Structure 1
Amino acid sequence: MTDLLNVAILGASGYTGAELVRLLSRHPRVAITALTADRKAGHAMADVFPQFAALELPKLTTIDEVDVDAVDLVFCALPHGTTQQVIAELFETKPSLKVVDLSADFRLADPDAYETWYGHPHHALELQSEAVFGVSELYRDEIKGARLVANPGCHSTTSILPIVPLLREQLIDADAISIVSATGMSGAGRAAKEEMLFSEVSEGVHAYGVGKHRHTSELDQEFDKAAGRPSRATFTPLLIPMNRGIYATITVTLSGGATAEALHAALQTAYWGEPFVTVLPFGKVPQSRHVRGSNSVQLGVMADRGPDRAIVISTLDNLVKGASGQAVQNMNLVAGFEETDGLAQLGLFP
């Protein structure tokens, strides 16, 4: 690789693609060499997202027009189900290429689980077995040597970060985890949908994907691995009328004589020195507004009224740490850069 890492963003006209441009445009070690879109091909990026008017960026093209040989790393911000073939063709063209995939296509290691949750067989099984699940703090060493990183889902990241260390230490019951995870509207993407109109979603909250949300499969995969046995968390996502953010309230049942204070201590130990994960003082409640626009996660632990339960709260920005920010963090690991490069933005408040 040259001094500057040449990157392409496939699917740059969506929210996660735009967030990648925002972050990478200020990255000291990166040059954005290609941006693709489907319906917006031929347009300037500033025509699609006017906030980029001051930047000199490549014009949006189709994927077929990208000179893959001139690219070191590709971010795939494409719809689920379309990425498998695209990435397979990229690697056929340039086997040394590095890819960070923001879709769900390579997140599940078990092909049967993928088929169960996504309704069709996986079409790139050899790549699926190669992909590294990209929760940066948990799989840092594996990511550093990866050719293909599967960026986790936003809901998944929000709950995996606080719960996996507790399962590893056997402090909570793997069969008694209840997650209510509220997300902002940008998590639904930028495509026009009647149910996402302002008058349809404002001044109210509703659950969606109840009992069948696909991010549950990522929770099962990571919780099972951490617990060393099958687990079955209850996961209920909510859609709330704000642009950015995820706020997960997780009720857990303690095991082995653990206390809520022990959970807090375990999370402090697990994330000591981590640049993007902050464990607040015991009993302090995180707020989503304090991580908005940043790659930060805030975790809080509170005692429940019963001695055998505790409440863990986790919040992050779904477009940054929940998607594009974590993708840049994973790129930094793959490329051997400082992990914090391009990600120094603190929470935007108020």
Structure 2
Amino acid sequence: MKFLVTGTAGFIGFHLAHRLLAEGHAVTGIDAMVPYYDLRLKEARHARLAESAAFRPLTLDLADAARLGAVMREEAPDIVIHLAAQAGVRYAMEHPESYIHNNVVASYALAEACRHHPVQHLLVASTSSAYGANTSMPFRETDAVATPLNIYAATKLATENIAHSYAHLWKQPTTAFRFFTVYGPWGRPDMALFKFTDAILRGRPIDVYNHGLMERDFTYVEDLVEAIIRLVPCRPEIGKPVGSGDSLSPVAPYRLVNIGNANPVRLLEFIAAIEQATSRRAERNMMDMQPGEVLKTWADSSLLQALTGYRPTTDVATGVAAFVAWFREYYGV
């Protein structure tokens, strides 16, 4: 099949595109190459993907609606998977305009492009941060989400709502999925695993927020990719839910799906896994809770399993060890 994937120079987009190419699909990869972190890492990801003749990389700001529309017309993809976004909770405190542009305006432009050039299935990435101040655990797709705690979450909720309205108005089959703290090789330098590993290996202290009293539903990137691949043929159809817990919209071919390990892990346990993988003890700088953060995330992955027969299973020790091995090799540490 012909896939158009946004954000292929990013962490998750790279892994998804790599998997699609390995399975024999053609992939057009769009990335704006925003210098939010070291562009050399993004360029290295695209260079790895370009080893396949079936990969076509395009540097493009999705908010450029005219150019995006031309790409959609020329490429005529069967499937579009929208992973590009401005990520990061703390960065949003200082640069909210980047999130409005790269998450809201860009997602609107992509929805418009799919309106004029319909695809078999549009799949859109969202985040567990959308659950905001919810305290009922585990998080279910049918939970109300009216309390985002940061601009990042607010813009991803806007992306979901744009996708739903376009699915309703133009009957474009659309699946949105909420990721839960994805980690693994080729990860982002702004994420805790990357920063902790780098600091520990270089003998520097790590900043541990809320004194480590947080829990995250860590999801290994290859498990995430497997879930996305399995969701591709699961096109939502109005009036055809898979069970009572389905988030299928009553008015649109639209569904929301959690992708998480369904197993929250304490931050201090996560740090212990890094210490085990690096064979070094971390020097901890205990700090207070940061604005916009949540204490705990926990995915209910039963809908994903009902749709695909699959749910993520990789444990933190295995996933962290894989990341540390990649980090050592890539950076020569």
Query: TM-score, normalising length from structure 1?
Result: 0.41
Query: TM-score, normalising length from structure 2?
Result: 0.43
Pick the structure with more helix per residue. Answer: 2
